[in-house]
Structure formats: C-alpha cells, structure tokens
Amino acid sequence: MSLQATTSQTVGPFFKIGFEWLYRDNLVGDGVSGERVTVQGRVFDGDGLPVPDAILEIWQANAHGKYDHPEDTQNKPLEPGFKGYGRVPASADGVFRFVTIKPGPVPGPKGKEQAPHLAISIFMRGLLKRLVTRMYFPDDARNAGDPILNSIDPARRSTLIAKKTAGGPGTLEWNVVLQGPNETVFFDLGL
C-alpha cells in the first residue's frame, strides 16, 4: 500500500513571512570559481501587468557542472562557497534580480550533455502549484545540442534563453510571462 503525495496549495500573498529567512539573491560565496552573472527580469500576468507577489527558487550546478547533492556522483569538484540555491522575491514592480555564476554543463538523457542552465521553480498568489522552468544562457553553442531545448517548439525556445543587456557583459535579462503569445515554456514533471 503506497501513500499519495500531499496536495499542493498556493503560497498566497503573504509568503514573505515564512520565506524571508532564507532569501538568497547572491548565490556566490567567497572563492567560488566561474563567470559571474547578474540575472534580472520581471514576472508578467495575462494582462501584461507585473506580478508583485511572486517568488523564484533557483537550483544549479557549479562552474564545473557539479550539483551539491549526493545523487550527483560525477568526478567533478564541489566548491565550499557554492550551494547552488537561490530564493528571490519579485518587487512591487514584478522585478527580481540575483547574482550567480554560469554553471558548467551537466549530464542529460542518453548520455547527451545538457547546456548550462538554471532550474527554476516559481510560486505566487494565484498559482495552486509551482511552475517549473529553466533559464539558459545567450550565445552558448551548447544550447543547439541541448536535449531539453530541442524537445520544445523552436518558436518558443527563446523564452528560456536569457538576453544580453546594455548593463554590461555580466548582466542578463530573463522575464517570466505567464500567459499570451510570449508565454514562457513551463515543464510538466507530472506534478
């Protein structure tokens, strides 16, 4: 007899009370290797209005492509200053911003390498369960061979790839669009 997973419920508008102690908008500790990037973006609803009560959780490998987790058995180094977890709320204008490093590539299905990416979960008032998506990096030749990107309609792939900005080479823009023609690709993991 197996148990059934507890049903998901919305975080509601007041999640800050419960989540703020673990807010992490800078994932990079002392001595961590890799290319520093600042990711900034906005969350938009179906009317194109910014969502002020959303929160993103980021999970990623380090610059060597190694996750700080026992199931990652690759022979690659961990870095003490890098856990790979971030948690950033949107502001009243729907803006989020975090600092991290570009991860290395990680193994994927059928022995194929996955291009560097951030795994992102999104919670907000009005969402009864979390949204699962990814952010990839601009101008990375490995994107062309990424098995997950390649499983997506080419017309929608760009919603997962951050854009370079005038803010400098280390500043990327990546928006989350909940509905409409530019709707971000969200993944079905059977949740």
Which residues in the 76-135 window bind other proteins by CB under 8 A? 83-85, 106-111, 114, 117, 119, 121, 123-132, 134
190 binds other proteins per the rule CB under 8 A: yes
Of the ranges 32-40, 137-145, 150-158, 165-173, which one interacts with other proteins (CB under 8 A)? 150-158
**Alpha-carbon distance 166 to 33, whole Å?**
24
Residues in contact with other proteins, counted by CB under 8 A, come to a total of 76
| Range 11-50, binding other proteins (CB under 8 A) | 11-22, 45-47, 49
Instruction: Please state, in angstroms and rounded to a whole number, the distance separating the CA atoms of residues 104 and 68.
Output: 13
Give min distance, CB of 165 to other proteins, in A. Answer: 25
Distance between CA atoms of residues 188 and 191, nearest Å? 7
For position 72 contacting other proteins by CB under 8 A, the verdict is yes
Q: Does 140 bind other proteins (CB under 8 A)?
A: no
Give the C-alpha separation, 111 to 87, whole Å. 31
Evaluated on CA atoms 137, 139, 141, 144, the torsion sign reads positive
Shortest Å, Cβ 56 to other proteins? 12
